[in-house]
Amino acid sequence: MTPTLDRLLQSIDAKRDEVVALTQDLVRIPTINPPGDAYEACAHLIGERLARKGFAVEYVRAVGAPGDSDSHPRTNVVARWQAPQPGECVHFNSHIDVVEPGPGWTYEPFGGQVANGRVYGRGTCDMKGGLASSIIACEALIESGLPMSGALEISGTVDEESGGFAGVGYLAERGYFSKPKVHHVIIPEPLGVDRICLGHRGVWWGEVETRGRIAHGSMPFLGDSAINHMSAFIHLLETQLQPRLQGRHTAEPVEPPGARVSTLNINSIHGGQVEQRYSLDERGWPTGDLPAPVVAHLCKAVLDRRFIAEENLEAVKQEIVDMLEELKRTRPGFDYGIRDIMSFVPTATPKDAPVVDATARAIARVLGREPSYIASPGTYDQKHIVRSGKLRDCIAYGPGILDLAHQPDEYVGIQELVDSAKVMALAALRLSSPAHFG
Ligand SMILES: [Zn+2]
């Protein structure tokens, strides 16, 4: 490696305490989603820091998007540093929301404590550590004084955990993730310092309802139970569809390997009266909201169907409709409705795409080993960048262990923060200012 690039990497080693401190500062802002707490404060922490470093900073509130309100504004931050020479733009996108801490912590969930060479706290791994690494990487590049072309962008966006519609979805529809503004995107999700995530499986969320006829619960034969009808449908899902899906294998390197097939989860089911809350009083008498005896006339189930690159969305839906139609033909009284909640097709960036190549070379230089290539079982914000931004040159790459995401005692390794910052800096330099690499 040239001496100038060596110096760049050494300067990132020297920022070890800084990347830790930044991760801690970010984690100490409890941006819990739902409901979407403290987004404004977190966006401003990022924006004000980057403005001091010479970035042009824009705050974009997703007015009118799902979840946006004056009490919980969906505020995104987008910062851009323009190099003296024209060229391509590399964008680092991180979501700033985290899921609730949940029980079982031995560390303070929003304390950002350092122990065992790690930073602990909700969001350290998913993905404020990655955000901190990308900020340190860009700052090191700018401070290096290396002649640069193109532009560097960093965004902190909201609501990834709930679909990203007020975050990357909102921005992508408005041109923030499209050429000629942006050419390459790296999303520092916690996939591990030596793994490049090329894309994800597809998803169809849908709601199926079964219909019956209400009657007195003491004479169920006079009604027709929607719950019994739903149970017949679920029986078909379990005995016919799920075994079929297990046999459909993808060639994509989805991690964990158990997700290299199609899957179906019944996300929720609600039938009959709304849930009652009752208990027994000291005499042993029922008290609270007591149920009244009725045959359920309606039952709804939400299905979460993940599909592989070898399948298509229309066929995925049709397969479920066919089963419902089969029941309609064969089961007396069966009636149903089905509707879409949301869907995204699978996405996979080609291995020879510029952002993949640049990141792979950077991993080899920094870590001295070849990267592995993976795909994600679930979707993340890449879906919006591909669909609305029409930008294909996008990957997820960042520090942290994916399995720790959303768990108690979530952490990110400090050495991983530093190493991934080096990889991000080299990749961004190669993409924006290729002259440095001969
Ligand atoms: Zn995440």
In this predicted model, what pLDDT tens digit does every residue of 354-375 receive, in sequence order? 999 999 999 999 999 999 999 9
Residue 412 Cα to ligand 1 middle (Å)? 13
Q: What is the pLDDT of residue 1?
A: 58
Residue 124 Cα to ligand 1 middle (Å)? 10
Residue 41 Cα to ligand 1 middle (Å)? 19
**How do residues 157-171 score in pLDDT, each as one tens digit?**
999 999 999 999 999
Residue 143 Cα to ligand 1 middle (Å)? 29
At 275, is the pLDDT very low, low, confident or very high (cuts 50, 70, 90)? confident
Residue 188 Cα to ligand 1 middle (Å)? 8
Domain 202-344, CATH class in plain words: alpha beta
The Cα–Cα gap between 290 and 332 comes to 31
3-state secondary structure the chain: CCHHHHHHHHHHHCCHHHHHHHHHHHHCCCCECCCCCCHHHHHHHHHHHHHHCCCEEEEEECCCCCCCCCCCCCEEEEEEEECCEEEEEEEEEEECCECCCCCCCCCCCCCCCEECCEEECCCHHHHHHHHHHHHHHHHHHHHCCCCCEEEEEEEEECCHHHCCCCCHHHHHHCCCCCCCCCCEEEECCCCEEEEEEEEECEEEEEEEEEECECCECCCHHHCECHHHHHHHHHHHHHHHHHHHHHCCECCCCECCHHHCECEEEEEEEEECCCCCCEEECCCCCEEECCCCCECCCEEEEEEEEEECCCCCHHHHHHHHHHHHHHHHHHCCCCEEEEEEEEEECCEECCCCCHHHHHHHHHHHHHHCCCCEEEEECCCCCHHHHHHCCCCCCEEEEECCCHHHCCCCCCEEEHHHHHHHHHHHHHHHHHHHCHHHHC
Domain 3-200+346-437, CATH class in plain words: alpha beta
The Cα–Cα gap between 168 and 209 comes to 31
Strand 184-187, strand 394-398: pairing: parallel
Phi/psi of residue 251, nearest 5 degrees = -85, -10
Other CB atoms within 10 Å distance of the CB of residue 258 = 9
**How do residues 402-423 score in pLDDT, each as one tens digit?**
889 999 999 999 999 999 999 9
Q: What is the pLDDT of residue 223?
A: 97
**How do residues 299-328 score in pLDDT, each as one tens digit?**
999 999 999 999 999 999 999 999 999 999
Residue 377 Cα to ligand 1 middle (Å)? 13
For the record, the structure tokens of 352 come out as 């020879």
351 pLDDT higher than 70: yes
At 433, is the pLDDT very low, low, confident or very high (cuts 50, 70, 90)? very high
193 pLDDT higher than 80: yes
Residues carrying an active site annotation = 97, 160
Residues 132, 19: contact at Cβ < 8 Å?
Answer: yes
Residue 130 Cα to ligand 1 middle (Å)? 10
Other CB atoms within 10 Å distance of the CB of residue 404 = 16
Residues 253, 197: contact at Cβ < 8 Å?
Answer: no
Residue 115 Cα to ligand 1 middle (Å)? 23
Least confident of 40-54, 266-280, 329-343, 384-398: 266-280
Residue 101 Cα to ligand 1 middle (Å)? 14
**Which of 11, 50, 113 has its CA nearest to residue 425?**
11
Q: What is the mean pLDDT of residues 270-276?
A: 88
Residue 165 Cα to ligand 1 middle (Å)? 14
**How do residues 72-93 score in pLDDT, each as one tens digit?**
999 999 999 999 999 999 999 9
Boundaries of every domain in the chain? 3-200+346-437, 202-344
The Cα–Cα gap between 413 and 410 comes to 10
At 121, is the pLDDT very low, low, confident or very high (cuts 50, 70, 90)? very high
Residue 243 Cα to ligand 1 middle (Å)? 30
9 pLDDT higher than 70: yes
Show contacts of 236-245: CB within 8 Å, 24+ apart.
236/323, 236/326, 236/327, 237/264, 237/266, 237/323, 240/323, 241/319, 241/320, 241/323
At 277, is the pLDDT very low, low, confident or very high (cuts 50, 70, 90)? confident
Residue 18 Cα to ligand 1 middle (Å)? 22
Residue 288, strand partner residues: 278
211 pLDDT higher than 90: yes
The Cα–Cα gap between 40 and 36 comes to 10
Residues 94, 127: contact at Cβ < 8 Å?
Answer: yes
- Global pTM? 0.91
